Structure 1
């Protein structure tokens, strides 16, 4: 403690306050990170769901087009 000119009690209080602030910021960052991970998970699931629906709709459309072409050839 020779390198510090302030009283030890003041230094202890400042160091504790600094540590508490650091812990609080770290907790907030962890909460934000967790929230973003959940958001990414949910958006990925939603994207997969809609991608699957689009593929199914596209396949139905292609089938309908093929059937239409075949009916026109019959006529």
Structure 2
């Protein structure tokens, strides 16, 4: 059985194949960032959305409301 005639390679095809092979070899592999261990006493600033009544509950006793929220979250998390 006769095979269909092969299409001649063009410069663009060879270049495309070469570029793809080069990228495959030289591309950096995506690595997950190393998981950081929580260090006691170091805090991180975050944005947190909570219900208004919950916020008012913690703020009603004045300054230190963020520490009270943190303590409640630690207790809930079993830490």
Structure with larger Rg: 1
More helix by share: 1
Question: Higher relative CO (CA 8 A, sep ≥ 6), structure 1 or 2?
Answer: 2
Q: Please indicate, yes or no, whether the TM-score normalized by the shorter chain is above 0.5.
A: no
TM-score of the aligned structures, taking structure 1 as reference length: 0.29
